[in-house]
Amino acid sequence: MKQWRGGLAAIAILIAGGCSEGPSPMSLGVNQGQLAPCPDSPNCVSSQAADENRWVHPLRYQGERARARAQLLAVLDGMDRAEIVQADESYIHAQFRSAVFGFVDDVEFLFDSPGFIQVRSAARIGYYDFGVNRERVERIRVRFAEAMEES
């Protein structure tokens, strides 16, 4: 019974907003032309990952980078519980919060070569993400492709 109460206390702290965010990872951003590698935990996907279990396709576009960047920002801005933290010419960082506990996932985009946008999506805390980051990247991919076709 004591362990159960302790678990409830931990959940209460998370709900109250105490620890659900976790510290901002120091590895965010671009280092030597690359996004950070995924950690050993299965809660991250990246188009630059060597491990096929963590690898996702980069986003693709035709035309001008500025147009693709504007469309990607519009897609992110239209998604639930998303906040754009940084938007430079070739790099975008957004945070997504989970609906119930407010856990934060960091999603990064790097315009590293014409027609390609590298992407990385990772949970800040926890071990498993139950496929949430992969699903999010695929949802962004579909919305981005639709936005590019419409514009």
pTM value surpassing 0.75: yes
Residue carrying the six token digits 């699903």? 135
Please state which of the ranges 13-22, 34-43, 117-126 shows the lowest mean pLDDT. Answer: 13-22
Mean pLDDT of 45-50: 97
Q: How does pLDDT run across 82-138, given as a tens digit for each residue?
A: 999 999 999 999 999 998 888 999 999 999 999 999 999 999 988 889 999 999 999
pLDDT at 60 > cutoff 50: yes
Q: Closest by alpha carbon to 121, among 61, 38, 50?
A: 38
Q: Is the dihedral of CA 7, 11, 16, 18 positive or negative?
A: positive
Return the DSSP state at 27.
T
pLDDT at 16 > cutoff 60: no
Could you give all domains of the chain from N- to C-terminal order, each with its CATH number? 24-150 (3.30.310.80)
In Å, what is the CA distance from 1 to each residue of 10, 13, 15? 14, 19, 21
